[in-house]
């Protein structure tokens, strides 16, 4: 990897606290999921490192909060420009540790950078409020102030963007932050931190604590138990989200949780079939199906069902699977053995319950993490895949007849993150969009994420929204001032 980078000094393997790199003797391995080979040994953060990161972020907070929004914006903007300038190297690092095709990694770098740019702009627009008073001798004002020291725990599926989506609004608001990146993908986080230092981020404003899975649990406890940390933002699985919510109760932290989804994708018979197939491919197979907004269940109306299954599965068979670094690759490996076992289980379970295997269905080669892009048709509602998140390149398709029936089926889940449907009937578009119990609805599109839109879920998919003009509110407190004696 080092030889391939234009700027080899972006490959950092230390713990980063107060802009200092610590090369701890204790390390953990980062491997390439495409080959299983070792990419780097990364310093394992100790519990003492976590405590020092908290101290450092707390010490940095008053001065950082006291800067003008414009001053903070300048640093964020420089960071944005450095990330864009090093997009090729960042993409290479990401593909090597995460597996996604290089083009997708590059797209993630640009998407991740967009939050730095967006919140650099928003930093200047944090404004309070003046209310009409109910007393003639008093005035009523609202100040917006940074929450304080924040923590972020992030997943491996978007090693860079899930960090910028949290860190950018936090530091734009005047907070300082400690990031615990996913154990599988610390190198993207550390490269990002190096660029933050170069952009002029003051000491302690951002600190990074790489750790393996076991140490991550311990560090999670330290972060949750600390009364200094006022806000925790987590993206990851719903079970871990519940643990962190429980652990945060003792210090009554503010929480932002982006948890699992189980996206339905509905194709009505008035849809543009080619557009629906295109949207389905994008929403299902991106990142080998490993995104929380990936479709898990397709519902296709009876008149268009056979045509959709045929066109879609033909297109799926053309997806080229391989090492993400090869230019022709469209789908890389999945992240680890546990992930591929769950995918195999979901396929076997659906087939045993009567689903038809129309494309793929197997691991491409024993002892590798490549899974064939798969399509299952006629999947019964009681198959695991219809209620559990698969996080893999498997499309489960079921037939439906009526609008109300499919809305009820789509809403029959504890998740409520992304949903999608295709229709060209304006009245139906409104009816269905309003009734879907999801935080996000893609209508005639399978791609919805960008920095301008509020990303987040309802029900057990989480709390809060990231990105958009609302995203910075997570990191701001309101303070009511009542001025009397006027
Ligand atoms: P995934 O299934 O996507 O790996 P996880 O929810 O297990 O999702 O992991 C997401 C992030 O949460 C990772 O950074 C991981 O290290 C961290 N994590 C997992 N378990 C805990 C825990 N008990 N406390 C704190 N962090 C945790």
292: annotated active-site residue: yes
Our answer on whether the CB atom of 183 is closer than 6 Å to any ligand 1 atom is yes
Atom of ligand 1 nearest to the CA of 181: 14
Among candidate residues 150, 292, 451, 474, the one labeled active-site is: 292
Nearest CA to ligand 1 atom 13: 182
Indicate the helix (H) or strand (E) that contains 186. helix 186-198
Residue 297 pLDDT: 98
What are the tens digits of pLDDT across the range 394-450? Answer: 999 999 999 999 999 999 999 999 999 999 999 999 999 999 999 999 999 999 999
Interval 35-88: pLDDT, tens: 999 999 999 999 999 999 999 999 999 999 999 999 999 999 999 999 999 999
Helix axes 161-173, 69-85, angle to 10 degrees: 160
ipTM score of complex: 0.98
Residue 236: CB within 6 Å of ligand 1?
yes
* Index of the ligand 1 atom closest to the CA of residue 247: 24
Task: Give yes or no for a contact between 237 and 260, defined as CB atoms under 8 angstroms apart.
Answer: yes
Confidence of residue 330 (pLDDT cuts 50, 70, 90): very high
Candidate list 122, 194, 203, 258, residue with the active-site label: 258
DSSP state, residue 382: T
Q: Which phi and psi angles does 323 have, rounded to 5°?
A: -60, 130
Tokens of 167: 């860190």
Q: Give the DSSP letter string of 460-480.
A: GGEES-BSTTTGGGGGEEEEE
pLDDT band at residue 2 using 50, 70 and 90 as cut-offs:
confident
Of the pLDDT bands very low, low, confident and very high (cuts 50, 70, 90), residue 195 is very high
How far, in Å, from the CA of 214 to the mean position of ligand 1? 10
Is residue 153 in contact with ligand 1, taking CB distance under 6 Å?
A: yes
Closest CA to 339 of 291, 375, 387, 397: 291
pLDDT tier at 238, thresholds 50, 70, 90: very high
Mean pLDDT of the chain: 98
Which of 178, 186, 240 is the best mutation target for the ligand 1 pocket, counting ligand atoms within 8 Å of the beta carbon and taking the most?
Answer: 240
Please say if the pLDDT value at position 1 is more than 90: no
Q: What is the Cα–Cα distance from 385 to 374, expressed in whole angstroms? A: 13
What is the 8-class DSSP label of residue 135?
S
User: For 236-249, what is the mean pLDDT?
Assistant: 98
Confidence of residue 329 (pLDDT cuts 50, 70, 90): very high
Q: What is the 339 CA–ligand 1 centroid distance (Å)?
A: 14
Distance 102 CA to ligand 1 centre (A): 25
Active site (annotated) includes residue 258: yes
> SS3 letters for 304-328?
HHHHHHHHHHHHHHCCCECCCCCCC
Whole-number Å distance, alpha carbon 84 to ligand 1 midpoint, is 28
Helix pair 102-122, 161-173: axis angle to 10 deg? 10
User: Tokens in use for 124?
Assistant: 């200047």
Protein residue closest via CA to atom 22 of ligand 1: 217
Q: Within 13 Å, how many C-alpha atoms sit on residue 307's CB side?
A: 14
Q: Would the CB of 237 count as within 6 Å of ligand 1? A: yes
What DSSP line would sit under 72-110, residue for residue? HHHHHHHHHHHHHHTHHHHHHHHHHHH---HHHHHHHHH
Calpha distance 302→305 (Å, rounded): 5
Q: What is the mean pLDDT of residues 337-354?
A: 98
pLDDT grade, residue 298 (50/70/90)? very high
Ligand 1 centroid–CA 309 distance in Å is: 36
Residue with the smallest CA separation from ligand 1 atom 25 is 220
Q: What is the pLDDT of residue 242?
A: 98
Cα 14 to Cα 11, 123, 152, 412: the distances in Å are: 10, 30, 18, 45
Per-residue CA distances from 287 to 60, 107, 113, 392 (Å): 37, 11, 18, 9
For residue 176, which of 58, 77, 70, 72 has the smallest C-alpha distance?
A: 58
């Amino acid at each position: 990897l080092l030889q391939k980078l234009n700027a080899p000094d972006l490959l950092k393997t230390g713990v980063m606290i107060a802009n200092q790199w610590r090369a701890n003797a204790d390390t953990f391995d980062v491997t390439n999921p495409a080959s299983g080979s070792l990419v780097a040994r990364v310093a394992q953060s100790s519990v003492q490192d976590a405590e020092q990161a908290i101290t450092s972020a707390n010490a940095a907070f008053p001065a950082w909060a006291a800067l003008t929004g414009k001053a903070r914006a300048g640093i964020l903007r420089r960071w944005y420009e450095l990330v864009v300038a090093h997009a090729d190297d960042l993409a290479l690092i990401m593909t090597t540790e995460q597996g996604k095709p290089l083009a997708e990694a590059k797209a993630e770098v640009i998407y991740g950078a967009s939050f730095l740019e967006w919140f650099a702009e928003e930093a200047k627009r944090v404004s309070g409020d003046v209310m009409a008073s109910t007393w003639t001798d008093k005035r009523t004002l609202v100040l917006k102030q940074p929450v304080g020291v924040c923590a972020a725990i992030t997943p491996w599926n978007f090693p860079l963007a899930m960090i910028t989506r949290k860190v950018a609004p936090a530091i734009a608001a005047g907070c300082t932050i400690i990031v615990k990146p996913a154990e599988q993908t610390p190198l993207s986080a550390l490269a990002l931190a190096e660029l933050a230092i170069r952009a002029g981020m003051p000491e302690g404003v951002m600190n990074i604590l790489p750790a393996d899975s076991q140490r991550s649990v311990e560090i999670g406890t330290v972060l949750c138990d600390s009364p200094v940390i006022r806000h925790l933002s987590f993206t990851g699985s719903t079970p871990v989200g519940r643990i962190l919510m429980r652990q945060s109760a003792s210090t009554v932290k503010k929480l932002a949780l982006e948890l699992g989804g189980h996206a339905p994708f509905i194709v009505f018979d008035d849809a543009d079939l080619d557009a629906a197939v295109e949207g389905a491919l994008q929403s299902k197979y991106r990142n080998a199906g490993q995104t929380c907004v990936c479709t898990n269940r397709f519902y296709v109306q009876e008149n268009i069902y056979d045509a959709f299954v045929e066109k879609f599965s033909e297109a799926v068979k053309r997806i080229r699977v391989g090492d993400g670094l090869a230019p022709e690759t469209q789908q890389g490996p999945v992240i680890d053995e546990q992930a591929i076992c769950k995918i195999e289980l979901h396929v076997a379970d659906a087939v045993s319950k009567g689903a038809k295997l129309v494309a793929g269905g197997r691991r491409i080669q024993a002892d590798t993490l490549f899974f064939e892009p798969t399509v299952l048709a006629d999947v019964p509602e009681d198959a695991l895949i219809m209620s559990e998140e698969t996080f893999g390149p498997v499309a489960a398709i079921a037939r439906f007849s009526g609008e109300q029936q499919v809305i009820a089926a789509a809403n029959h889940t504890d998740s409520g993150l992304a949903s999608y449907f295709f229709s060209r009937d304006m009245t139906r578009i409104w009816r269905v969009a309003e009734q879907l119990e999801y935080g996000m609805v893609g209508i005639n599109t399978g791609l919805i994420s960008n920095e301008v839109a509020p990303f987040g879920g309802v029900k057990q998919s989480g709390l809060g929204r990231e990105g958009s003009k609302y995203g910075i509110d997570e990191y701001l407190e309101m303070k009511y001032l009542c001025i009397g004696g006027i």
